[in-house]
Amino acid sequence: MRIRTITVIGAGLLLVAGSAGIAGCSGQDEKRARTAGENAALGKRAQQKRAPAPPPPRKIDCDRVKCVSLTFDDGPGPHTARLLDTLKAGGARATFFMLGENVQAHPDVVRRIAMEGHEVANHTWSHPDLTTQSPAEVRSQIQRTQQAVKNASGVAPTLMRPPYGATNTQVGRAVGMPLILWSVDTLDWQHKSVSRDTRIGVKEPEGGGIVLFHDIHKPSVDAIPKVVDGLKKRGFTLVTVSELFQGKPLQPGQTYNERIQKTEPVTASPSPQGTAGGATQPSPPR
């Protein structure tokens, strides 16, 4: 009887010891898992901190330098990546007024636009005539696009172009950003002609001008290599819209179609500061 009692007691002690060991292992495993999770979170935050950022606007005085801004509407689309290749090869920067629904479909292209120093800008979500929309509908078109562009590129647009160039006081108030129109309308959407787009794009721009193209049309993108080369031969520096208006604060709700210069650009001595141009109603793009 004594031997059986000892055996039972011994078995019980082994069971307790085993349970304690399992509990100890479980606690160590939980601690290791928690530490691994914390390390992973720290690594992710460090990676986010190291994520590349878009280059800042260049310091260019467009009262002293002969500047022109190429702008592209309605993208991004299937030809935008090739357009970016052209602009990179030519050392040119441009501004992209993008539709939110296309941003959502091409987020990688939008990120590339920003990372290569071009300007991301708002052209509404689905291209309505904003003068036919209620203020709430206008705000929805703008805010949805703002969020889509920021999600794709990490950059929130600061400029907006109303579809068809259609705007009024109510639209400007609802948009709450400077409204950028254009001084040269290539009508590329209508003619879809490489030779015509090239001729208009090279010959018509003047200093401080804003040129309207559409990167959703293949002929437009096909014309840009010669447009860039031709404008550079004319002495132009190709800049973003924000670079064009550096030193001239743009007001929310106001329209701008060029940077007007009081004097011809010079290369040696400073010239008087010009004033931002007001907008005229251009022919509507499609």
pLDDT of residue 234: 98
Catalytic site residue from 79, 106, 123, 214: 214
Q: With the CA atoms of 92, 94, 100 and 105 taken in that order, what torsion angle do they form, in degrees rounded to the nearest 10?
A: -10
Question: What are 213's strand-pairing partners?
Answer: 72
Lookup: tokens for 136: 């709430």
Buried b (16+ CB within 10 A) or exposed e, 227-255: bbebbeeeebbbbbbbbbbbebebeebeb
**pLDDT band at residue 185 under the 50/70/90 scheme:** very high
pLDDT of residue 31: 66
| Between 284 and 246, the higher pLDDT residue | 246
Overall average pLDDT of the 262-266 stretch: 54
| Residue 37 CB-density burial (10 A; 0-12 exposed, 13-18 middle, 19+ buried) | exposed
pLDDT of residue 40: 63
- On the question of a cis peptide bond just before residue 252, with omega within 30 degrees of 0, the verdict is no
pLDDT of residue 165: 98
pLDDT of residue 56: 86
| Alpha helices for 123-251 (secondary structure H) | 135-153, 169-175, 188-191, 194-203, 218-233, 241-244
pLDDT (tens digit per residue) in 34-55: 666 666 666 666 555 566 889 9
Among 196, 217, 219, 250, residue whose Cα is nearest residue 69: 250
Lowest mean pLDDT among 30-34, 89-93, 242-246, 261-265: 261-265
Separation CA 274–CA 82 (nearest Å): 35
pLDDT at 285 exceeding the cut of 80? no
pLDDT at 64 exceeding the cut of 70? yes
Overall average pLDDT of the 62-68 stretch: 96
pLDDT at 75 exceeding the cut of 60? yes
CA angle 155, 123, 144 (to 5 degrees): 65
pLDDT at 210 exceeding the cut of 90? yes
Distances (CA, A) of 99 to 90, 118, 127, 177, 179: 25, 16, 7, 16, 15
Catalytic site residue from 63, 73, 74, 185: 73
pLDDT of residue 279: 39
Whether 229 is catalytic: no
Q: With the CA atoms of 127, 130, 132 and 137 taken in that order, what torsion angle do they form, in degrees rounded to the nearest 10?
A: 90
Specify the residue for token string 């801004």: 69
**pLDDT band at residue 186 under the 50/70/90 scheme:** very high
pLDDT of residue 50: 64
Whether 214 is catalytic: yes
Mean pLDDT value across the chain = 85
pLDDT at 284 exceeding the cut of 60? no
pLDDT at 241 exceeding the cut of 90? yes
Report percent pLDDT > 70 for the chain. Answer: 73
pLDDT of residue 262: 58
pLDDT (tens digit per residue) in 115-165: 999 999 999 999 999 999 999 999 999 999 999 999 999 999 999 999 999
Lowest mean pLDDT among 70-79, 120-129, 217-226, 266-275: 266-275
Residue 179 has phi, psi (to 5 degrees) of: -105, 115
